[in-house]
Structure 1
Amino acid sequence: MALKPIEQLFGARRPVAERLYFDDDGRTPNSRYPVLVYRGEPSGQGSLAEPLEALFAANAWPPQWRGGVFDFHHYHSVSHETLGVARGHAVLMLGGEDGSRLRVTRADVLVLPAGTGHCRMQASTDFELVGAYQPDQQRWDICRSDSAADHDAAIARIARASTPDHDPVNGRNAGVPVLWR
């Protein structure tokens, strides 16, 4: 019998999110909501892009792309973003230039609230992500704070980003819908 996508990524356990908080540093707004990090326990070998895409789609976070993380500090002001590590590993800087480094590996999933800074510091040559967004946030932007005016305008856009009804990993009534209220 074939494993369900959630079992391929997390084994038999119910995934529980680590929570990371980042303050506005004057350049990167970040969010009052925590970044959620789900640590995977993948079975098998190879890319997990298809199981990640299936899991996100089943939980109302349609996948949009496969690729990596930019090597410059940026954030999205009009959308929350889910990143699933399909293969390889990387060290990301979250929270802006003065944020925290986070090592991610195959099957890990991050949920970044709108405004959360992120940047790739290093990655394996086979590093690949699946990116997903809420249905009402399929158009996302890329912001790099270069001025106070950009920062202030971004804060206004971030405030208008809707709070998800589903968590990309655990669905309804868990994760994002509970922890972001």
Structure 2
Amino acid sequence: MSILETSKKVIENVTGFARPRKQAVAGFVRQRKSNEFWFKDDGLVPNHPAWPLVVYRGAVELPEGLDPAAVMEVLFDANGWGDSWRNGIYDYVHYHSQIHEVLGIARGNAEARFGARKDERCR
């Protein structure tokens, strides 16, 4: 995490500035159609044969006056998804063998590859 993002997170946690209350974040969720992607085992990442990657575009409203990253953190925490972090996606292949991961893009954009080598979707 960059020094700027670390500082913002500490200030938000201590003061509550630009950070939504846990009770408010459920109202930021928008109903969206899911996009699901299944991947074959490519020998590098052990993709699950029955559980897809699920993508919801624009699923969270990010109100002005609140830090978008803080909105995501509070929303994830409200759903029991702890240990959140900010600022970046690994630029190397990795996976979690014992847990599922949720990823929220709070600002900007990202290009990432999930699940398999290019063009290896199975369903």
- The two structures have a TM-score, normalised by structure 1, of 0.45
Long gaps (5+) in structure 1: 101-181
What does 1:19-168 correspond to in 2, within 5 Å?
Answer: 19-32=36-49, 33-40=51-58, 42-45=61-64, 47-98=67-118
What amino acid does structure 1 have at the position aligned with 2:36? R
Q: Distance in 1 between matches of 2:36 and 2:47?
A: 14
SS in 1 for 2:104: strand
By relative contact order (CA 8 Å, sep 6+), the higher-ranking structure is 2
Q: Deviations over 1:14-67 (max 9, x none)?
A: 244221111101222111201111112534457411221221111121242112
Q: Give the structure with the higher percent strand.
A: 1
Aligned length: 96
Identity among equivalent positions (%) equals 36
The answer (yes or no) to whether the contact 1:16–1:38 under 8 Å persists in 2 is yes
Q: Deviations over 1:66-124 (max 9, x none)?
A: 12111122212122111111211011111133357xxxxxxxxxxxxxxxxxxxxxxxx
CA RMSD in angstroms comes to: 2.6
Q: What's the offset of the Cα at 1:9?
A: 4.9
The answer (yes or no) to whether the contact 1:6–1:55 under 8 Å persists in 2 is yes
The answer (yes or no) to whether the contact 1:22–1:95 under 8 Å persists in 2 is yes
Task: Mark the structure with the bigger radius of gyration.
Answer: 2
SS in 1 for 2:77: helix
Q: Distance in 1 between matches of 2:68 and 2:26?
A: 11
What amino acid does structure 2 have at the position aligned with 1:19? E
The answer (yes or no) to whether the contact 2:39–2:52 under 8 Å persists in 1 is yes
